[in-house]
Amino acid sequence: MRPVPPFSGAHLRPPTASGSSIARTAKSRPTKPSGDKDMNFKRTHIPVLTITAAALFAAWPSGLAKRTLLTNAVVHTVSGPTHTPGFVLLDGDTIKAVGPAEKMPQFKKVDTINLKGQHIFPGIIATTTALGLMEIAAVRATVDTSEVGTYTPEVKSWLAINPDSELIPVARANGITHFLPTPQGGTVSGQSGLLSTVGWGYENMLRNSPVALHVFWPRMTINPGADDAKKQADERDKRLKEIDEFFEQARAFVKTQSEPGHKGVPAWNAMTPWVRGEKPLMIHANSQTQIESALEWSAKRGWRMILAGGRDAWRVADRLAKHKIPLIYEHTFTLPPRDFDRYDVQFRAAGILHKAGVKVIFSEGLTRFAATNARNVPYAAAQSATHGLPTDIAHKGLTLFAAEALGVADRLGSIQPGKEATLFVSNGDILEITTQVKQMWIAGEKIDLSSRHTRLYKKYRNRPKPTKQTSAAYPIKQSVPEYLKLPDFYKKSTTVKGLPVVSSDKVTDFALKEAAHLVEKMIGHRKDILDNMIKRNCRLVVMGHNEFTTQIPEYAHFEPAKFWDRRARGFGSDRDDPVISCAEENLLCYPGDPYNTENILIHEFAHAIHLNGIFDVDPTFDERLEKTYDAAMAKGLWKGKYASNNHYEYWAEGVQSWFNTNRPPDHDHNHVDNREELKAYDPPLAKLVKEIFGETDWRYKRPSQRASRAHLKGFDPLNTPTFKWPKDINDFYLKYVKEQAKKKKEKAGN
């Protein structure tokens, strides 16, 4: 990390021999006393300063007397009503006025920006994060999250942040204006400070310090059946006793500080704000027993507490509310910890806690990818908002509640007159994943929202166009082959090596071309298989993003219609039915695509290749495939997963993985989602897939990654329709599934 000069009053731990230290500010070079003029730093000398939180706020860029009026916007004040439309007046680094448009006075000498219905939010605060302390988790030299030792209260995480981290601008581009780099390791891991996502170094990024002292609570559960159960219990009790002794010693030390001749000890000196009750402890605990133990300990001994982690916090919501403990919730997307928990228990947790009276703050936590995922914190709130948490409370969980817990609510967290002019403008609600942040101000300064992501996007978007194309452009005809004798529903078509691809006139030409391209890439080199499919009158149907299953003539008889309209967006063919289908939104990766982590055409076309292609070309294949499937099931492979249903789905799932387009792990899928993992996990299946498709270099990539290909020329992946289930279809489907489950349960009971 980039070294910074020491400041008087900031404790610097001596270098250790065991790697990085989050408290160390200058690595591999001697640190002279702060009064020395010759600091031996290669960078420009910076004068010695004594920094306080108040001084930092006052020292933010001066000379910002510019007045900016934001008008015609949806203003989410968070602390009060949402003004639609509304206005915000920025006066230098301060919000001067906020209100509904009809009450906006005439302002003089202002730069007016008409936002044309866009949204204004206060800046998001990312709490408990490794942002700034970790760049690449797999590269140890870029990981500065932990200090050596079990009790290191003097560690100050903000001294070690890397202001040039590529991850900070990425987080900023999604509305994050402040973050709390959190020290890890040991039991008392150190202090955290609140930083802005803009600045040349921690000196002018730091907004409030210290914010909290971080305590990682010991594991409380033991395995009563284990041989070392007593040893586990003794170790737990020992760690709890050590915590008690540490904090009691800190209290005793602080009491003696005023005695004549008293000499300070850095670790104990660092505890002063907490012993005096000026700052809160941030206790990291997840299990119910951990949380209950931490609550009891802090209440009994009078420590101010913020709970972080909180996986099981919903189980003790009433106790948290009673003690007015704010919660930094890090587990929205964590799998349920117990077999008997509901699948959506972590999604619903924030709503349960809110109803009990707990203020929930959202965080992506301190996992291996915590720094990278800091940008995704709005979506944790969004998921909770779809599972019982009111939307306005979800907004507060990203902004105001965080500011209150971290002691900066007088300046940050909401859009109010007198508060700091820190806010962003977006083209929709920040809880929507498709929303883009368009403009941002931090302390009144207009912020550049470019990042490594945008630079790379522009770089590869503007790369030279290839001079040769390996695929044909697949010309579209405004008719369908007569020999197919198709209904009038079908209006246009293209072909791939003679195989027809058809649709109504509601489908964009790009979808037909993309479907043809994928077929050619999959099986274009196997003329024998394609010819047999053509002989059997196979055709590929593309349904539009605003068309539904039973509108396709071949599926019009499906009952109940609304169930099938919601249930499927594509089918494979079999020996009695030559029709293969897929959907426009999945082919072109539209926002809202319900199958956005996989390509459905490749799955469904794999069925067609099997049953209408290989079946006749190689009569032994189906039997060999079924034997391979039986052997895999006997070994326990694919247990409980979609591939275990039958040898047909076993094959189609294998083909998806071969082309790197299977789903990531979920209730229906394990970790196997690419060719190498398939070879390692189920070699016999991989061998059969290779027999048909060969060891080609081609792997599926989303259209946005190859928009320069001839068949996609003119396609703009950033300007596409959004797929959405109609309410009547969605409501019917949910009701029908519920009724069927009830009937099944009643039948089982009889």
- The CATH number of residue 600's host domain is 3.40.390
Give the mean pLDDT of 110-128. 96
At residue 22, the pLDDT reads 47
What's the number of CA atoms in the CB half-sphere (13 Å) around residue 153? 21
The answer on 341 and 209 residing in a single domain is yes
Structure tokens given for 367:
């996992």
For residue 427, pLDDT over 50 is answered with yes
Give the mean pLDDT of 682-710. 91
At residue 263, the pLDDT reads 65
The answer on 388 and 493 residing in a single domain is no
Note the pLDDT tens digit of each residue in 182-228. 999 999 999 999 999 999 999 999 999 999 999 999 988 877 777 77
* Residue 724: inside a domain: no
Mode of pairing for the β-strands spanning 206-216 and 188-196: antiparallel
Distance in angstroms (rounded) separating the CA atoms of residues 89 and 70: 6
The answer on 633 and 584 residing in a single domain is yes
Chain centroid, CA 179 distance in Å: 16
Range scoring the smallest mean pLDDT among 29-33, 57-61, 201-205: 29-33
Give the mean pLDDT of 270-296. 94
The answer on 670 and 533 residing in a single domain is yes
Structure tokens given for 423:
């806010």
The answer on 350 and 440 residing in a single domain is yes
Q: What is the DSSP string of 24-76?
A: -SS-SS----TT-S----SSPP-------HHHHHHTS------EEEEEEEEEE
For residue 38, pLDDT over 80 is answered with no
At residue 265, the pLDDT reads 81
* Residue 414: inside a domain: yes
The answer on 296 and 175 residing in a single domain is yes
At residue 262, the pLDDT reads 58
Mode of pairing for the β-strands spanning 492-496 and 499-503: antiparallel
* Residue 594: inside a domain: yes
Q: How far is CA 103 from CA 71, 94, 208, 423, 617, in A?
A: 12, 20, 35, 21, 76
The answer on 536 and 424 residing in a single domain is no
The answer on 495 and 431 residing in a single domain is no
Note the pLDDT tens digit of each residue in 533-543. 999 999 999 99
* Residue 730: inside a domain: no
The answer on 436 and 495 residing in a single domain is no
Give the mean pLDDT of 177-182. 97
* Residue 324: inside a domain: yes
For residue 8, pLDDT over 70 is answered with no
At residue 370, the pLDDT reads 85
Residue pair 484/537 in contact (Cβ under 8 Å)? The answer is yes
The answer on 345 and 386 residing in a single domain is yes
For residue 522, pLDDT over 70 is answered with yes
In the chain, the N- to C-terminal Cα span, in Å, equals 68
Which of 455, 470, 494 marks a domain boundary?
455
* Residue 598: inside a domain: yes
For residue 379, pLDDT over 60 is answered with yes
Can you give the residue range of the structural domain that contains 679? 482-712
At residue 732, the pLDDT reads 95
At residue 211, the pLDDT reads 96
Note the pLDDT tens digit of each residue in 600-611. 999 999 999 999
Task: Note the pTM of the prediction, 2 decimals.
Answer: 0.57
Give the mean pLDDT of 561-585. 94
What's the number of CA atoms in the CB half-sphere (13 Å) around residue 82? 17
Residue pair 323/299 in contact (Cβ under 8 Å)? The answer is yes
Percent of the chain at pLDDT exceeding 70: 89
Give the mean pLDDT of 604-631. 96
* Residue 343: inside a domain: yes
Nearest of 386, 341, 342, 384 to residue 361 by alpha carbon: 384
The answer on 423 and 488 residing in a single domain is no
* Residue 310: inside a domain: yes
CATH no. for residue 423?
3.20.20.140
Give the mean pLDDT of 321-338. 95
For residue 44, pLDDT over 70 is answered with no
> How does residue 713 score in pLDDT terms, banded at 50, 70 and 90?
confident
**In the chain, helix, strand, coil percent, each to 5?**
35, 15, 45
Distance in angstroms (rounded) separating the CA atoms of residues 660 and 521: 13
Residue 369 DSSP code: T
Judged by DSSP in three states, 120 sits in strand
Distance in angstroms (rounded) separating the CA atoms of residues 334 and 310: 11
Mode of pairing for the β-strands spanning 437-442 and 445-446: antiparallel
Q: Which residue spans within 677-749 are E strands per DSSP? A: none
The answer on 430 and 373 residing in a single domain is yes
Query: Average model confidence (pLDDT) for the chain?
Result: 88
Which of the given ranges, 139-148, 407-416, 733-742, has the highest pLDDT on average? 407-416
Percent of the chain at pLDDT exceeding 90: 76
At residue 353, the pLDDT reads 97
**Residue spans of alpha helices (H) in 483-526:** 509-523
Q: Tally the domains of the chain.
A: 2
What are the residues facing 306 on neighbouring strands?
A: 282
At residue 682, the pLDDT reads 97
For residue 83, pLDDT over 80 is answered with yes
